[in-house]
């Protein structure tokens, strides 16, 4: 019997009891039965940052953001561009910190220390951190041109993964927005690093599986962040929403002044944008 079957049977049973014995007798019988049940343990206090913060993750529609404010009630927003997302969010609140799961600070050549150090923290999940392509590779018109550009910029040391190049438009979207003055403290995060810090170790279950989604929701809830329910058709997947929630958790830590930086001394390339992953 499923939970839904049990609820239907119980509703039917209560209805028959009311017809046969009346409301008072039925109520007393239910109260007596429920008295033996152990009350669930109290949940953690909701995470309530002093100021609104926003966690952002890329999704099929563009960007999904989870806004968390002093009331501890997260709200979800989605838009095709990062600029559009912030416009939408600012109709309700002005986020003090925006934490985004996307590379910020693009290398001219070689690899970023941020990516290398993040991998070291994610034993068993290091592959979730891809190497950020060079700016010339991201600006290339085709994947083949991007591969060639990255090889040239790194002295033949590395090409560009298909996963990284697929995000080129979104990486450049954020890059343009940041260099134009975002009007908030913007930080780069990596959700798997945030989840690992919350759980005390990397979460090894893949995020797109039922087990992985449940583990991530449980970790977020243990830290006071009850993620809103997810439904199909919203332009984003459940793992996108959970990643945005993890980003919001790090944004709250950053606003409190307790976030950590990888590397501790951010790199700065020709774009003059500090490159570091926060947790």
Locate all alpha helices (DSSP H) within 35-166, ordered by sequence: 82-89, 113-121, 135-138, 143-153, 162-166
Domain 53-106+167-278 belongs to what topology?
Nucleotidyltransferase; domain 5 (3.30.420)
Q: What is the pLDDT of residue 14?
A: 86
Q: What is the mean pLDDT of the chain?
A: 94
pLDDT higher than 70, residue 41: no
Which carries the bigger pLDDT value, residue 8 or residue 260?
A: 260
Q: What is the pLDDT of residue 45?
A: 92
pLDDT tens for 108-123 read 999 999 999 999 999 9
Q: Where are the domains of the chain?
A: 3-34, 53-106+167-278
pLDDT higher than 70, residue 38: no
pLDDT tens for 146-204 read 999 999 999 999 999 999 999 999 999 999 999 999 999 999 999 999 999 999 999 99
pLDDT higher than 60, residue 40: no
Q: What does the alpha-carbon distance between residue 85 and residue 10 come to, in Å, rounded to a whole number?
A: 45
Q: What does the alpha-carbon distance between residue 130 and residue 114 come to, in Å, rounded to a whole number?
A: 11
Q: Which residue has the tokens 């490159």?
A: 275
E strand or H helix at 1:
none
Q: What is the pLDDT of residue 104?
A: 98
Q: What share of the chain is helix, strand, coil (3-state, %, to 5)?
A: 45, 15, 40
Query: For residue 264, what pLDDT band results from cuts at 50, 70 and 90?
Result: very high
Crossing angle between the packed helical segments 191-199 and 238-255, to the nearest 10 degrees? 70
Q: What is the pLDDT of residue 4?
A: 65
Q: What does the alpha-carbon distance between residue 188 and residue 176 come to, in Å, rounded to a whole number?
A: 15
> What radius of gyration do the chain's Cα atoms show?
23
What is the maximal distance between C-alpha atoms in the chain? 85
pLDDT tens for 130-149 read 999 999 999 999 999 999 99
Q: What is the pLDDT of residue 36?
A: 66
Q: pLDDT above 90 covers what percent of the chain?
A: 82
pTM of the predicted structure, to 2 decimals: 0.84
Q: pLDDT above 70 covers what percent of the chain?
A: 96
Q: What is the pLDDT of residue 199?
A: 98
Q: What is the pLDDT of residue 133?
A: 98
Query: For residue 47, what pLDDT band results from cuts at 50, 70 and 90?
Result: very high
pLDDT tens for 70-79 read 999 999 999 9
pLDDT tens for 3-28 read 667 777 888 888 898 889 998 888 88
Q: What does the alpha-carbon distance between residue 82 and residue 200 come to, in Å, rounded to a whole number?
A: 31
Locate all alpha helices (DSSP H) within the chain, ordered by sequence: 3-21, 23-34, 82-89, 113-121, 135-138, 143-153, 162-166, 168-179, 191-199, 210-222, 238-255
Whether residue 263 has a cis bond before it, omega within 30° of 0? yes
Question: Average of pLDDT values for 86-101?
Answer: 98
Q: What is the pLDDT of residue 27?
A: 81
pLDDT higher than 90, residue 220: yes
Query: For residue 232, what pLDDT band results from cuts at 50, 70 and 90?
Result: confident
Q: What does the alpha-carbon distance between residue 24 and residue 46 come to, in Å, rounded to a whole number?
A: 37
């Amino acid at each position: 019997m499923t939970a839904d079957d049990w609820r239907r049977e119980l509703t039917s049973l209560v209805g028959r009891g009311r017809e046969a014995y009346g409301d008072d007798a039925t109520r007393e019988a239910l109260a007596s039965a429920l008295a033996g049940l152990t009350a669930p343990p109290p949940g953690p206090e909701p995470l309530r940052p002093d100021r609104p913060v926003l966690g952002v993750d890329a999704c099929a529609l563009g960007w999904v953001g989870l806004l968390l404010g002093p009331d501890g009630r997260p709200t979800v927003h989605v838009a095709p561009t990062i600029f559009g997302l912030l416009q939408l969010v600012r109709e309700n609140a002005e986020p003090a910190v925006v934490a985004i799961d996307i590379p910020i600070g693009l290398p001219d050549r070689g690899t970023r220390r941020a990516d290398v150090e993040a991998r070291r923290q994610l034993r068993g999940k290091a592959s979730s951190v891809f190497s950020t392509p060079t700016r010339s590779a991201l600006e290339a018109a085709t994947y083949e041109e991007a591969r060639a550009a990255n090889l040239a910029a790194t002295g033949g040391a590395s090409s560009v993964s298909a996963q990284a190049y697929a995000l080129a438009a979104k990486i450049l979207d954020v890059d343009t927005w940041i260099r134009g003055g975002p009007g908030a403290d913007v930080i780069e995060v990596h959700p798997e690093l945030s989840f690992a810090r919350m759980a005390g170790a990397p979460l090894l279950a893949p995020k797109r599986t039922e087990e992985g989604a449940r583990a991530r929701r449980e970790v977020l809830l243990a830290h006071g962040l009850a993620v809103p329910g997810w439904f199909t058709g919203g332009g984003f997947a459940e793992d996108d929403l959970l990643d945005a929630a993890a980003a919001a958790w790090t944004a709250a830590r950053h606003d409190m002044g307790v976030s950590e930086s990888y590397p501790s001394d951010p790199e700065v390339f020709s774009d003059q944008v500090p490159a570091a992953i926060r947790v």
